[in-house]
Amino acid sequence: MNKEIDLNKHWNNVYSNNLEEKLGWYETDLAPTLKLISKSGLNTSAKILNVGAGSTTLIDELLKKGYSNLIATDLSEIALKNLENRIGNEKVECIVDDLTNPTKLKKLAPVDLWVDRAVLHFFTKNQDQDTYFNLLSSKVKSNGFVLIAEFNLNGATVCSGLPVHRYSKEMLNEKLKNNFDLIESFDYTYIMPSGAERPYIYTLFKKKY
Ligand X SMILES: C[S@@+](CC[C@H](N)C(=O)[O-])C[C@H]1O[C@@H](n2cnc3c(N)ncnc32)[C@H](O)[C@@H]1O
Binding site for ligand X (CB under 6 A): 7, 11, 25, 52-54, 56, 74-76, 79, 98-100, 117-119, 122, 159
The least distance separating ligand X from the CB of residue 209, rounded to whole angstroms, comes to: 27
Beta bridge partners of 188: 200
- All residues at 6 or more sequence positions from 169 whose CB lies less than 8 Å from its CB, including other chains: 182, 185, 201, 203
Q: Are strands 158-159 and 93-96 parallel, antiparallel or unpaired?
A: unpaired
**DSSP character string of 156-172:** -SEETTEE-----HHHH
Q: How far apart are CA 115 and CA 67, in angstroms?
A: 14
Report, in Å, the least distance between residue 169 CB and ligand X.
19
Q: What is the DSSP letter of 44?
A: T
Return the number of the residue (147 or 178) whose C-beta is nearest ligand X.
Answer: 147
Ranked by CB distance to ligand X, the top (closest) residue is 54
If the CB atoms of residues 21 and 90 are measured against ligand X, the closer one turns out to be 21
Q: Residue 208 CB, nearest distance to ligand X (Å)?
A: 26
Choice between 25 and 186, CB closer to ligand X: 25
The span from the CA of 107 to the CA of 39, in Å, is 28
Our CB check for ligand X shows the closer of 33 and 185 to be 33
Shortest Cβ 66–ligand X spacing (Å): 21
Question: Which residues sit opposite 96 in a β-bridge?
Answer: 74
Question: Are 76 and 108 a contacting pair, CB within 8 Å?
Answer: no
How far is residue 192's CA from residue 118's CA, in Å, rounded to a whole number? 13
Nearer CB in complex with ligand X: 149/176: 149
Least distance from ligand X to the Cβ atom of residue 136, Å: 12
